[in-house]
Every structure is written in structure tokens, then in C-alpha cells.
Amino acid sequence: MKAFTIITNDIKDKDLEVTNQIVDYVKAHGCSCTVMNTKHRSQEGKYHYTDASQIPEDTDCIIVLGGDGTLLQAARDVVDRDIPLLGINLGTLGYLAEIDRHMVLPALDHLLADDYTIESRMMLTGTVFHKGKQIASDLALNDIVIGREGSFRVVNFLSFVNEQYLTSYKADGIIISTPTGSTGYSLSAGGPIIAPSASLLMMTPLAPHTLNTRSIVLSADDKISVEIGPGRDGEEEKGMVSFDGDTSIRMVTGDRIDIRRAQQNTRIVKISNQSFLETLRKKMSNT
């Protein structure tokens, strides 16, 4: 690799100390490095944080400084550029951003020597419909969550798989996750941990009001649809769908979201021989 672009979480790298260290090191080895200016979150337009159209065409790798959350944001903005991402964690141990600040220079040496592998991670696409018309669409690397909005009461969520009715969940919400997202919100809701290299969809109810409700694992080729059911006494219910805990779209009774595997994948650079199971063991031992 000879050309790099850096996306920095300036809250975690306040003085751009790590960012500037990378720029100086890369340029000292005769390579190019561009630092992107991120912006405050916006739900308008194609990009939420990083204008991917400004990334140089010859970029071989995007280095993301921050943590798993920053990498999730970057992945959604740059997915159409099909450039591999290397996450550098400036916080606690992450599943996606596995390199910590003390291993930055050795990690760069691996990149400069073309000593790395690239993992392909599946993503989700969700399309929201109101009265039969599409009102929103977005991507997620971790999960799409359909939940209640406002009052603290359960919502009736009607779920369908490939247009066939599956079940009705009376719950706080439903989490549709990828294998990458199985170690995120879904895990805290009691969902299973799945190796990120797998290709499948997982549906996990959030605080369901039945004792025998469990996660359901489906084929990556399936389409999951979730509809907001009527509220108490037939009143209109209000819900919210969020993509990777970021972009949020309001929904009401009768609205539907269709979720399926996205055509795009996120490509993650791996430079250590540490397996997912080793990362999982270290993460769990720190909790």
C-alpha cells in the first residue's frame, strides 16, 4: 500500500497527535496520506460524517482513528468507494478496530510491506414504507433496530420473512443484525455470538413480553419485513428505526421496513494473526 486516507474522531484524538504521527510516518516512507475533514452528523444528503467523494482516487486504504463506533460511521459513508478500512482503537478493546495506539507504527509497517489480509463483512439495507410509498433507505454494518418512540410501553411488531407472516412480537423492539453486529446490541439483548465471516441474518426481540421468545437465525438471502402494529385500543402507535445506532427514521402504525442483505460489503484490513475467538476471549475477560 502506498496511498492512505485518514478519518479521525477528533474527540478521541483531540490534538490530532495520533493522526499527525501517522501522516509523518507514512510520508517519511515515500507514501501519500490525506486527512479527511469530518462534519457533525447530518441525516440529509448521501453522507453523514465524511464526504467520500473527496477521498483521492488512488487511496489504497482508509485508516479510521477512534473506535468501533467511528469505524461503523466511516463504513457507511465510504462503502461505495470499495476501499478497505483499518480501524485503530483509541479507547477500549474493539471487535472491529483491533489495533491500539501503541501498535500504530508496527501496523503501518505491515501495510507498507503489503503484509495483511482483507475480510469482507456483509451489510444490511433497510427501506422504510409509509402508506405503501418508500420514505427512507439506508445501510448498516452492525444492525437495524426497530423500537418504540416515546412512552414506556410495549409495541406490537409484526414480522414477516419473504412475505410470509412469521410472528407478532410484543416487545420494546426488534434487532436485525449481521454476524458483525452479533457482538453489539444484539448480544446485550441475549442474542448469540456469530463469527463475522458467516453469511446470515439474525432477528432478536428486545425485552419481549413472553418467556419463550428467542433469536431467530435466517439465511443471508432472506428478506425480513417488520410492521408497526396497532396500539392499545386501536390507537396509532409510534416507533423508530435506527441504522447502526445512528440515522433514525420515525414510523407509525401500518408503516413497514424491508431488510435484506446489501449488495455492498465492508472490507476490513487484518494485520494481526489474532483470531476472532481470541479477541472475543480478551473482550469477555475485561467485562
The CATH number assigned to the domain holding 149 equals: 2.60.200.30
Pair (135, 237) in one structural domain: yes
Q: For position 148, what pLDDT does the model report?
A: 87
Whether 194 and 94 share a structural domain: no
The answer to whether residue 219 scores a pLDDT higher than 70 is: yes
Q: DSSP states of 115-179 as a string?
A: --EEEEEEEEEEEEEETTEEEEEEEESSEEEEEE-SSSS-EEEEEEETTEEEEEEEESEEEEE-T
CATH classification at residue 112 = 3.40.50.10330
Q: State the pLDDT at residue 280.
A: 72
Alpha-carbon distances, residue 263 vs 125, 158, 186, 196, 211 (angstroms)? 8, 26, 23, 17, 36
Domain match, 163 and 75 both: no
134 shares a domain with 28: no
Three cell numbers, residue 254:
401500518
For 45-95, what is each residue's pLDDT tens digit?
A: 677 789 999 999 999 999 999 989 999 999 999 999 999 999 999 977 677
Q: How many domains does the chain have?
A: 2
**Average pLDDT for the chain:** 90
Hey, which residues are catalytic here?
A: 68
The mean-pLDDT minimum among 101-115, 160-174, 223-237, 253-267 falls in 223-237
Claim to verify: residue 202 and residue 84 sit in the same structural domain:
no
If asked whether residues 70 and 174 sit together in one domain, one would say: no
247 and 43 Cβ atoms separated by less than 8 Å:
yes
Percent of the chain whose predicted confidence (pLDDT) is above 70? 93
* Cα end-to-end span (Å), the chain: 36
Q: What is the mean pLDDT of residues 117-126?
A: 96
The set of residues, in sequence order, having a beta carbon less than 8 Å from that of 275 and lying 6+ positions away, is none
Q: Supply the range of the domain harboring residue 71.
A: 3-116+271-285
Statement to judge: residues 199 and 69 lie in one domain: no
- Using DSSP's 3-state secondary structure scheme, residue 206 falls into strand
